[in-house]
Amino acid sequence: MKKWIRGGTVVTAADTYQADVLVQDGQVIAIGQDLDVQGAEVIDASGCYVLPGGIDPHTHLDMPFGGTVTADDFFTGTRAAAFGGTTSIIDFCLTKKGESLRSAIAAWHEKARGKAVIDYGFHLMIAEANDQVLDELESVVTAEGITSLKVFMAYKNVFQADDETLFKTLIRARELGALVQVHAENGDVIDYLTKKALAEGNTDPIYHALTRPPEAEGEATGRAIALTALADAQLYVVHVSCAAAVQRIAEAREKGWNIYGETCPQYLALDISCLEKPDFEGAKYVWSPPLREQWNQDVLWNALKGGILQTVGSDQCSFNFNGQKELGRGDFTRIPNGGPLIEDRMAIVYSEGVRQGRISLNQFVDVCSTKVAKLFGMFPRKGTIAVGSDADIVIFDPDAKRTISAKTHHMNVDYNPFEGKEVYGEVVSVLSRGSYVVRDRQFVGQPGTGQFVKRNSFTRP
Ligand code: URP
Ligand code: ZN
Ligand code: ZN
């Protein structure tokens, strides 16, 4: 049956205009003001924005990490994403040294199968760049549609890869048309500072931040950029948190290099003082990179506005405070790193960004959806509202106010880092390929209806 989204304001990365949108068989089939529609189900969007569904480029669902496993899996995580206006995610498929890429990918497909309620793709972690891995990458990129790779420059003795691995990955990525992503922090320096802090008896959550200084991120970002230039490849720096990293990315882009960057809601709206909350509550705010001094927030917003950073990802990696974050009582290095943000990513960018005049409405759509689709090979199937695009559509009431709380959120986790924060904007209904996932604020999706998206190779947006 056709769906006729009537009376709303269509907002894309390029335009804002009054129009109706007609949906059939999972796609947008018409956009216009005097559509001749018979037999369609009407969705009243008056007073609302009609947005392309958000695309979250950075999630960790059902992921083992820090001696435990993330609290949200592909069902609870994608359900929460939909409530927040996100209709596609790209999750990180972990790999281990010595393991074939194919079996790692198969294991990640198993995690999502029968659970996801919105569409999803995978990025592939590169733990080592041996001949087998470099050979296997061809089919990963061209046949499996996994066109983005991830190298960790931090988490020594866990995920951290050396510069040789990063460089070989960049060279192979250039040959295959894949986008290389880095977690850019100097893991060796952090390892030294961490051991020193513990030896000096400094065990509280705040030392997580103090042992990961901004320049450890700036240095790694600059190094990854230099290696990318040497390899003549393309690089996307995930979760940029501070001016030191933004500056490296800005300089590289000035030179015309193929360098892109993402930031996250926590770096835009929270700061290092959160780690000093009493009763170990600072552990709720342990991310890597860590939260920074507040002045960095303006740098990040300006970088989004000016196109130095292109996207906002959630870095969804949720752990309960009780029983999971608590593993680090008495030793901050044992606090699982990460937080629950998949649901409130777009709310923070809209409310703190658009409503506060820091970015435009169209830039909000761009950084939360369109640019992600373009960088990660999903455009124009996803990331816009256009005839022929997937009908991944969000009906968004821009003037509704709500208070973020763990009592009302849909993530499977016992706290929300934005607890008590008032935000403008409410997701009313969400369509994924034309089918309701959220209807009038109620979840109506079905586990397993989300489809794996084979993505195209990288092209410069
Ligand atoms: O603290 C974080 N960011 N946890 C998730 C893993 C990562 O580094 O992205
Ligand atoms: Zn990371
Ligand atoms: Zn992450």
CA-to-CA dists, residue 353 to 206, 298, 377, angstroms: 27, 11, 26
How far is ligand 1, taken at its centre, from the CA of residue 290, in Å?
10
How far is ligand 1, taken at its centre, from the CA of residue 337, in Å?
6
Choice from 217, 288, 292, 332 to test ligand 1 binding pocket (greatest atom count within 8 A of CB): 288
**pLDDT(65) > 90:** yes
**pLDDT(256) > 90:** yes
3-class secondary-structure state, position 82: helix
Name which of 290, 306, 308 is nearest 247 in CA terms. 308
Q: How far apart are CA 76 and CA 61, in angstroms?
A: 9
Indicate where the chain has its CATH 3.20.20.140 domain(s). Answer: 53-375
Q: How far apart are CA 225 and CA 260, in angstroms?
A: 10
Q: Among all ligands shown, which has an atom nearest to the Cα of 217? A: 2
How far is ligand 1, taken at its centre, from the CA of residue 296, in Å?
19
How far is ligand 3, taken at its centre, from the CA of residue 35, in Å?
43
List CB contacts of 345: < 8 A, sequence separation 6 or more.
54, 56, 84, 86, 264, 265, 312, 313, 314, 368
- Pocket of ligand 1 contains residue 317 by CB under 6 Å: yes
Q: Please give the number of the atom of ligand 1 that sits closest to the Cα of 152.
A: 8
Q: Please give the number of the atom of ligand 1 that sits closest to the Cα of 155.
A: 8
> What does DSSP assign to residue 457?
P
**pLDDT(335) > 90:** yes
pLDDT tens-place string over residues 145-177: 999 999 999 999 999 999 999 999 999 999 999
> Which secondary structure element, helix H or strand E, spans residue 119, and what is its range?
strand 119-125
Amino acid at 109: H
CATH of domain 3-51+387-443: 2.30.40.10
Cis bond upstream, residue 417 (ω within 30): no
Using a pLDDT cut of 70, give the percent of the chain over it: 100
How far is ligand 3, taken at its centre, from the CA of residue 280, in Å?
23
Q: Among all ligands shown, which has an atom nearest to the Cα of 56? A: 3
Indicate where the chain has its CATH 2.30.40.10 domain(s). Answer: 3-51+387-443
Q: Among all ligands shown, which has an atom nearest to the Cα of 158? A: 1
- Pocket of ligand 1 contains residue 217 by CB under 6 Å: no
Measured between its terminal Cα atoms, the distance across the chain in Å is 35
**pLDDT(36) > 90:** no
With bands split at pLDDT 50, 70 and 90, how would you rate the model's confidence at 239? Answer: very high
Using a pLDDT cut of 90, give the percent of the chain over it: 99
Model pLDDT, residue 319: 98
CB 167 within 8 A of CB 228: no
Choice from 93, 237, 287 to test ligand 1 binding pocket (greatest atom count within 8 A of CB): 287
- Average pLDDT (306-314) is 98
How far is ligand 3, taken at its centre, from the CA of residue 86, in Å?
17
**pLDDT(35) > 90:** no
Specify the residue with its C-alpha closest to ligand 1, atom 8. Answer: 288
Q: Kindly report the CATH class assigned to 53-375.
A: alpha beta
With bands split at pLDDT 50, 70 and 90, how would you rate the model's confidence at 34? Answer: confident
Q: How far apart are CA 343 and CA 410, in angstroms?
A: 8
Model pLDDT, residue 301: 99
- Pocket of ligand 1 contains residue 120 by CB under 6 Å: no
- Pocket of ligand 1 contains residue 60 by CB under 6 Å: yes
pLDDT tens-place string over residues 212-236: 999 999 999 999 999 999 999 999 9
Angle separating helix axes 163-176 and 131-142, nearest 10 degrees = 40
Specify the residue with its C-alpha closest to ligand 1, atom 7. Answer: 288
How far is ligand 1, taken at its centre, from the CA of residue 287, in Å?
6
Choice from 65, 238, 242, 317 to test ligand 1 binding pocket (greatest atom count within 8 A of CB): 317
How far is ligand 3, taken at its centre, from the CA of residue 337, in Å?
9
pLDDT tens-place string over residues 70-117: 999 999 999 999 999 999 999 999 999 999 999 999 999 999 999 999
How far is ligand 3, taken at its centre, from the CA of residue 67, in Å?
16
- Pocket of ligand 1 contains residue 159 by CB under 6 Å: no
With bands split at pLDDT 50, 70 and 90, how would you rate the model's confidence at 1? Answer: confident
How far is ligand 3, taken at its centre, from the CA of residue 239, in Å?
7
- Average pLDDT (7-17) is 98
Specify the residue with its C-alpha closest to ligand 1, atom 3. Answer: 288
- As a whole number, the mean pLDDT across the chain is 98
Cis bond upstream, residue 380 (ω within 30): yes
| Strand extents, DSSP E, 60-111 | 64-65, 68-69, 86-93
Q: Please give the number of the atom of ligand 1 that sits closest to the Cα of 154.
A: 8
